[in-house]
Amino acid sequence: MTTDRIASLSPLLAPRSVALVGASENAARIGGRPLRYLREGGFKGAIYPVNPNRETVQGLRAYASMAALPEAPDVAILAVPADSMLQAVKACADRRVRAAIIFSAGFAETGDEGRRAQDEIAGIARDSGMRVLGPNCLGVFDAAAGYYGTFSAILDTAFVQPGPIAVVSQSGAYGSHITHLARERGLGIGHWITTGNECDVDVAEALAWVVTQGGVNVVMAYAEGIRHRDVFLGALDAARRNGIAIVFMKVGRSDVGARAVGSHTAALAGSDAVFDAVFRQYGVYRARTTAEQLDVAYACARGRYPASNKLGIFTLSGGFGIQMADDAAAAGLDVSPMPNDAQERLKAMLPYASPRNPVDATAQALTDLPLMTDYVRTMLAQGGYDMFAGIFGSGPATATFAASLRQVLETAAAGADDMILSLTMSAPREIVRTYEDKGFLVFEDGAALTTALGALVHFRRVFDAAASVEPPADTTRIALTGEPLSESASKAVLRQAGLTFPDEILVAPDEDVAAAAARIGYPVVLKISSPDIAHKTEVGGVIVNIAYDEQARRAARELLDRVRTVRPGARIEGLIVAPMIQGGVETIIGVTRDPVFGPVVMFGLGGIFVEVLQDVTFRVAPFGIAEAHRMIREVRGFPVLQGVRGAPPADLDALAATLSTLSCFAAANADTVESIDLNPVLARPRGQGVAPLDALVTLRTQQGSGT
């Protein structure tokens, strides 16, 4: 997406003037609510109610039509029924309005007729350049500007405070719900965008816009699918480079969920496993639950991230400490012990307490406040931690402990500016707020807290690495016709792309294979090479372990006979004579085409890892070497590549280079290549490279043909 295209969203998302078509005097109606919100929210720009039947609406001068407006407004909110919508959209385009918001349902989600109406609106948007949000959406707001292009009922009772969190949601109901929850937790939300049926503006574009806005630290996103791959990936990349955390609820991860996506929206779902890979690739945090999405966004809202994953746990009850240590370990945090001298200092202060980590001062310690304060301060100053988590249950809310806990913690916090300070407590919002104001992150549940701290560590790493994300290598495009490729031809193409294969010789059907075999060196393998035979073993097209000339000649005759019998029409290029390579770890590398993300590279170990455990991982093409290394480390079978049972470690650098190179080729030739299979690829011992033993490039036009 060009910068222009992003900029074209500003009239929609941050307008200077707003028209409301279908403006209603009744502030509870869909046509009345946005007006009420705009006025009560203190929107500074011009507001133009459009209503042919009234002089004024809610006290503002009304206009009879779009044509009657004194200026073309930045955005028009169209609060009219579905059957008058097309006319309203046309009127906007004619008046050169720069953006329109369509609330009404009754379009693509209802069937073919609705889809045709929606397509007409999309056509007007395309032709006029007017950006359209919706239909079937809840609109947009910008709490800081007092701009409310929405009728969401959650604002009925109270506005949301502006703040560093943005919400970008395909579903209006979800966007409203999570905002309601955020407000209950005292969180501020700046930009709020729901995209609904996405006839024009989609989640990807909204994300791309929002991550370039000042004051945004974190985005809570929701989507069922994505329409614009490049815009989406560009937005994710911009977010990490700008230090903005994206916390994503992507639904449709189960089969039944994916089917439901199909019946709900028109978005292409794509493969959820590929979505998952994209999120890992770009450092997006994928929330599994709404509660988790909120917890992580809450923690990221301040835009502060820890220097490392070292966590010091402080508790007055051993049991709580153990539980949090478990949770912290599960979240990838390092609960390493205090340095010995610091432990000794703490031991000297409270002999019966446990100063290791978790640091358990016991409830008794609360009876001596100065000592306790000193104790916590010592832990913070000398523990070597970048994060602190204190566990307090309902203590801060009880008459018995509230005052002493507050004193201890506030004193401690004053000296720990560089640390992430966090607490668990079960207390009313007003008590929680006082701790938040002192800089503490406060959670009710310890597992929620450690999950959120784990997410902070994750984002710190993502942001640190973002600057050095290498641009993918240049790859020249390779001219490929739609003709099927044989193994030989496939390998030739991939060699051009920069991949290396073991030396092998293609011998014509009437030539003597023995000479070639001698040149390759026995033992050899013989394989049929035909553009019409994609799966050689199915036709008996491979003979292995050939040891001498006569055996080679016999094998060649046999192979040709078999194939001519089973596939009489197949064009036979000849026989591939290849060395028998053994040793190394069997891996599988492939490229498939995702309906959303295009060429996707798959990696896995061979044998049961793929067949039984489905232990594979994906990356969207193209990607660099560092990303390929991360990819390789994601499979559960990775220890095999490090060497087991005395085997040497595999050549991970060569493997990563192969994956990256292949990804660049796949990306550069996405319009012609349908899929690529390298199976098996032997990952040989370190320094010896990789050996892809078989290769098949399938081109797009030959889809479905050949077996």
Which CB atom, from 328 or from 380, has the smaller least distance to its own copies?
Answer: 328
User: Should residue 404 be labelled a site residue for its own copies when binding is judged by CB under 8 A?
Assistant: no
Upstream peptide bond of 649 is cis (omega within 30 degrees of 0): no
* Residues numbered 481-510 forming contacts with its own copies, rule: CB under 8 A: none
Q: Which helix (H) or strand (E) holds 222?
A: strand 218-223
Report which of 632, 633, 649 is spatially closest to residue 686, judged by C-alpha positions.
649
Stretch that binds its own copies, among 39-47, 248-256, 415-423, 523-531 (CB under 8 A): 248-256
* Residues numbered 107-126 forming contacts with its own copies, rule: CB under 8 A: 109-111
For residue 299, the SS3 value is: helix
- The secondary structure of residue 110, as a DSSP letter, is G
Quote the crossing angle between the two packed helices 318-330 and 446-466, to the nearest 10°.
40
Applying CB under 8 A, which of residues 171, 422, 488, 551 lies at the interface with its own copies?
A: 171
* Residues numbered 37-66 forming contacts with its own copies, rule: CB under 8 A: none
Which CB atom, from 163 or from 225, has the smaller least distance to its own copies?
Answer: 225
- Residue 333 CB, nearest distance to its own copies (Å)? 9
Applying CB under 8 A, which of residues 173, 381, 414, 508 lies at the interface with its own copies?
A: 173
User: Should residue 198 be labelled a site residue for its own copies when binding is judged by CB under 8 A?
Assistant: no
Stretch that binds its own copies, among 14-22, 45-53, 282-290, 402-410 (CB under 8 A): 282-290
Q: How far apart are CA 70 and CA 261, in angstroms?
A: 43
State the binding string over 19-38 for its own copies (x if CB under 8 A, else -).
Answer: ---------x----------
User: Should residue 400 be labelled a site residue for its own copies when binding is judged by CB under 8 A?
Assistant: yes
- Residue 453 CB, nearest distance to its own copies (Å)? 15
Which CB atom, from 67 or from 153, has the smaller least distance to its own copies?
Answer: 153
DSSP track, 590-610: EEEEETTTEEEEEEEESTHHH
Helices (H), 265-368: 272-282, 290-300, 318-330, 340-349
Q: Which helix (H) or strand (E) holds 468?
A: none
* Residues numbered 132-161 forming contacts with its own copies, rule: CB under 8 A: 153-154, 156-157
Q: How far apart are CA 226 and CA 284, in angstroms?
A: 15
Applying CB under 8 A, which of residues 60, 105, 465, 515 lies at the interface with its own copies?
A: 105
Per rule CB under 8 A, count of chain residues that contact its own copies: 88
DSSP track, 143-198: TTTTEEEE--GGGTT-PPPP-SEEEEES-HHHHHHHHHHHHHTT--EEEEEE-TT-
Q: How far apart are CA 307 and CA 645, in angstroms?
A: 37
Applying CB under 8 A, which of residues 16, 180, 406, 438 lies at the interface with its own copies?
A: 180
Applying CB under 8 A, which of residues 255, 417, 418, 474 lies at the interface with its own copies?
A: 255
Which CB atom, from 398 or from 481, has the smaller least distance to its own copies?
Answer: 398
Applying CB under 8 A, which of residues 134, 190, 446, 624 lies at the interface with its own copies?
A: 446
User: Should residue 422 be labelled a site residue for its own copies when binding is judged by CB under 8 A?
Assistant: no
User: Should residue 325 be labelled a site residue for its own copies when binding is judged by CB under 8 A?
Assistant: yes
CA 110 to chain centre: 29
Applying CB under 8 A, which of residues 18, 117, 168, 316 lies at the interface with its own copies?
A: 316
β-bridge pairing 387-391 and 420-424:
parallel
User: Should residue 611 be labelled a site residue for its own copies when binding is judged by CB under 8 A?
Assistant: yes
Phi, psi of 248 (to 5 degrees): -110, 130
User: Should residue 537 be labelled a site residue for its own copies when binding is judged by CB under 8 A?
Assistant: no
- Residue 64 CB, nearest distance to its own copies (Å)? 29
Region for 439 from its dihedrals, namely left if φ exceeds 0, alpha if ψ lies in -120 to 50, beta otherwise: left
| Residues 102, 150 contacting (CB under 8 angstroms) | no
Which CB atom, from 213 or from 317, has the smaller least distance to its own copies?
Answer: 317
Q: How far apart are CA 263 and CA 302, in angstroms?
A: 38
- Both tokens of 237, joined, read 């990349």
User: Should residue 83 be labelled a site residue for its own copies when binding is judged by CB under 8 A?
Assistant: no
Stretch that binds its own copies, among 65-73, 354-362, 430-438, 588-596 (CB under 8 A): 354-362
Which CB atom, from 401 or from 501, has the smaller least distance to its own copies?
Answer: 401
User: Should residue 403 be labelled a site residue for its own copies when binding is judged by CB under 8 A?
Assistant: no
Which CB atom, from 183 or from 536, has the smaller least distance to its own copies?
Answer: 183
Which CB atom, from 249 or from 654, has the smaller least distance to its own copies?
Answer: 249
For 393, half-sphere exposure in the C-beta direction (CA atoms, 13 angstrom radius) is 13
The contacts of residue 367 (CB under 8 Å, 6+ apart) are: none
- Residue 451 CB, nearest distance to its own copies (Å)? 9
- Residue 456 CB, nearest distance to its own copies (Å)? 19
User: Should residue 16 be labelled a site residue for its own copies when binding is judged by CB under 8 A?
Assistant: no
User: Should residue 221 be labelled a site residue for its own copies when binding is judged by CB under 8 A?
Assistant: no
The amino acid occupying position 20 is: L
* Residues numbered 355-374 forming contacts with its own copies, rule: CB under 8 A: 356, 358, 360, 362-364
Q: How far apart are CA 578 and CA 54, in angstroms?
A: 85
Q: How far apart are CA 168 and CA 189, in angstroms?
A: 11
Applying CB under 8 A, which of residues 83, 119, 184, 512 lies at the interface with its own copies?
A: 184
Applying CB under 8 A, which of residues 51, 118, 128, 176 lies at the interface with its own copies?
A: 176
Q: How far apart are CA 226 and CA 251, in angstroms?
A: 11
